[in-house]
Structure 1
Amino acid sequence: MNDMLIGAIAMASMVAGLFFLRFWRSTGDRFFLFFALSFFIEGVNRLVLAPTAQDNDGTPAYYLIRLLAYGLILFAILDKNRPGKGGS
Structure 2
Amino acid sequence: MYLPPASFFSGIIMMGTLVTGLFFWKFWKKTYDKLFLYFALAFFIMSFERVLLGYLGVSKEISPLIYLIRLGAYSLIIIAIYRKNQESST
If the length of structure 1 is used for normalisation, what is the TM-score? Answer: 0.89
Deviation at 1:2, TM superposition (A): 1.2
Deviation at 1:57, TM superposition (A): 2.8
Deviation at 1:18, TM superposition (A): 0.3
Does the alignment pair 1:37 with 2:41? yes
Correspondence 1:1-88 to 2 at 5 A: 1-51=5-55, 52-54=57-59, 56-82=60-86, 83-84=89-90
Deviation at 1:66, TM superposition (A): 0.2
Deviation digits for residues 32-84 of structure 1 (CA, Å, limit 9, x no counterpart)? 00000000000010011123221x33221111000000000000000000032
Aligned length: 83
Alignment partner of 2:62: what SS?
coil
Unaligned runs of 5+ in 1: none
Sequence identity percentage: 43
* Alpha-carbon separation, structure 2, partners of 1:31 and 1:44: 20
* Alpha-carbon separation, structure 2, partners of 1:31 and 1:41: 15
* Alpha-carbon separation, structure 1, partners of 2:11 and 2:61: 16
